[in-house]
Structure 1
């Protein structure tokens, strides 16, 4: 945080991210959500294991992301590329994050997968070189 420009604000919201985004409308040119996987894990950490309820929260977040005047950048971790997790909660987490990524990608203008620091553009206009 010490290295960030002084005009950057940090808003820490563990659960009601949708309202936090809405409250930022008109105040910022760019909003960065870092990170979606941590936000989803907060629900599971508080024994909220209902997948449909969590996905409703994701959809509410995306609704507000679409209506705010700011450019919204959502950072997340791809957790579905490895082996199937051994326990139920880990599998639930992987599945919810995967579905959330699908919802986000369906409305996003651009989608990137970054591996080893190399960005791979998955969706959006091709950049001109």
Structure 2
């Protein structure tokens, strides 16, 4: 029971490693929560490839909020959430706001709503093993646009929150998992 976080850069092997962990710990009793929205052809193809790679016995749910309800509805041994940063971007895109003109108070309110969604996952993790895939977004350049900076900052703080609550944390580097906690 508890949380396992798998983080790293783009195309570092996070999802494949998390899927391997989920299978080792849950075999066919895995709930896979895909947080991506099929908004264009490229994303549809990515989702298709991920789906084909997973065991067909795993239950898949496509959702990016109220994940606690999805987890509690199903009694699975392991839950794999792929991915936290996509969940955060979807929640940001729900907001009807001119980001370049946004105030710190507005951003704080949005971050609080996102933090509440993350907290709901952390609360249910006491009753089931949850593996969360997320992107490490703080090691690159500072984004040129305000929305990019807002996303990077919120994602960084949510990653920190999940890492603190996790019993194990893995950093993927060029396909190699490095256990950094647990």
User: Is TM (by shorter chain) over 0.5?
Assistant: yes
Are positions 1:60 and 2:120 aligned together? Answer: yes
Show the counterpart of 1:20.
70
Structure of higher RCO (CA pairs closer than 8 Å, 6+ residues apart): 2
* Structure number with higher strand proportion: 2
Name the SS of the counterpart of 2:79 in structure 1: strand
Aligned pair partner of 1:43 in 84, 87, 91: 91
Distance 1:51 1:120, change over 3 A: same
Contact 1:21 1:65 in 2 (8 A): no
Show CA shifts across 1:37-58 (max 9, x none). 1111111111175111211211
What is the alpha-carbon root mean square deviation over aligned residues?
1.5
Structure with higher helix content: 2
The equivalent of 1:11 in structure 2 is 61
Normalising by structure 2, what TM-score? 0.61
Q: Does 1:116 align with 2:174?
A: yes
| Structure 2 unaligned residues grouped into runs of 5+ | 1-50, 97-106
User: How many aligned positions are there?
Assistant: 120
Secondary structure of 2:180 counterpart: strand
Shift, 1:103, TM fit: 0.9
Distance 1:103 1:3 in 2: 29
Structure 1 residues without counterparts, runs of 5 or longer: 125-129
